[in-house]
Each structure stands twice: as C-alpha cells, then as structure tokens.
A and B are shown apart, each in its own frame.
Chain A
C-alpha cells in the first residue's frame, strides 16, 4: 500500500498570502490529522477530520482551517500568512474503523512552508 502523500513538499510564500496544502491518506484510512512542527514549539496538533467532519481542533488561530473530502483526502489552508507560520506541516492518517478508538497514526513526509 502506498503511504501518506503530501503535496507540495516545499513551498515559499510571502507574508499576507494564503496557502493550501494537500494530503492523501493511506487507502482505506478514514481519519486525517494535521500537525505543525517548529524548532521552538515542537509538534503541535492542528485538527483532525473523520468522515468529512472536524472532530478535534488544537489551539491555533482561525487563519488555520481544513477540510476533508468524501474520498478522505484532506486539505489545510492558512490565510494571511505570518513569518511564524514557517514550519513543517505533517499530515497523518489512521484507520479509525470504530470512529472512536485511538488508532496508530501514519505520517506523511510533510510540507515545508517558508514564509518570507
């Protein structure tokens, strides 16, 4: 099975712009989560989607949003980019058969976003 794929792998934007990142989960996985990784704050949870519904959200401003499509693919969007948004954005997918039990999350290679 193919792993989690994320596009693009690298992105350079300027302050004030917006960006959309894409994530394709492992085939059959229904839950997709997003994390931000920075040297200062480490790995932080952004949000999680299951069956096109956001079930959980981390402590990030409303500029960070996401969605999930019927095929479980997910996108996250960051509007009005700030310098501090420069980070590695990781997507993870899990089986979520029951919808409630915590499953093992499998991560993609990440999208490295640089904001100038």
Chain B
C-alpha cells in the first residue's frame, strides 16, 4: 500500500486564490516525520517544512500554512493568496524513525497559478 497519498494530481487556480494541497499518510510507527517539498520546473526539490509525529502544532510561515492531524493521518498544506511564482509540483514525504533517511514520497500535486 502507498505510504503517502496525494490524491490531487493537478490543481489550477487564479492568482490571489487560496489553495489547499492534501496529503494522507500511512504508517504503523509511533515516531515519524513528515515533509513538504516544492519542485519548480528547474527540477530541484526545495524543502518547505518538517513535522515530527509528536508535534501536532499547526504552523504558519508567511502565506504558507500546514495542518497536521494525526487522527486522520493528514498533513495538508495551504497557500493563501497564491501567486504565479507558487506554480510548481509539491510533494509530501514520510520518513519513519530508524529508517535512516528513507523518504516515501507522494506522487505530487502540480499547482498552476494563473495571472
């Protein structure tokens, strides 16, 4: 079974709209780590956020916010007032403790922000 599911393959929004990217994960470990990365057309994965399983605090960073809910095994990412520069593929990833940096990535959500 897939450990990380990003059901939204592609989303298109108009600039200044808010958009939420969904991420559902599956693990039996009690200690694990969740990440979001952004991949612009250049190809490099850019780190956005890391969350530990024992820290369910939501986080806001500028226009970005993350909602971590262990009860639903979800770690969703919201961009407020989207901009054209936000256009990219976004990946959610899971790493389990003791697995030595082995990341399981979701299939990614391509976000198109139109002017």
How many A residues have CB within 8 A of the partner chain?
29
- Counted as pairs of residues, one from A and one from B, with CB atoms less than 8 Å apart, the total is 68
Asked if B37 is an interface residue, CB under 8 A from chain A, the answer is: yes
Bound-state CA distance A109–B96 (Å) is 25
Asked if A94 is an interface residue, CB under 8 A from chain B, the answer is: yes
Residues B28-81 near A (CB distance < 8 A): 33, 35, 37, 42-47, 50
Q: Is the interface of A mostly helix, strand, loop or mixed?
A: strand
Q: Tell me, rounded to whole Å, the shortest Cβ–Cβ distance linking A51 to chain B.
A: 12
Q: Are B45 and A90 in contact (CB under 8 A)?
A: yes
Q: Are B44 and A56 in contact (CB under 8 A)?
A: no
Q: Are B100 and A104 in contact (CB under 8 A)?
A: no
Q: Are A105 and B42 in contact (CB under 8 A)?
A: no
Known contacts A102-B95, A104-B50; A48/B102 CB under 8 A: yes
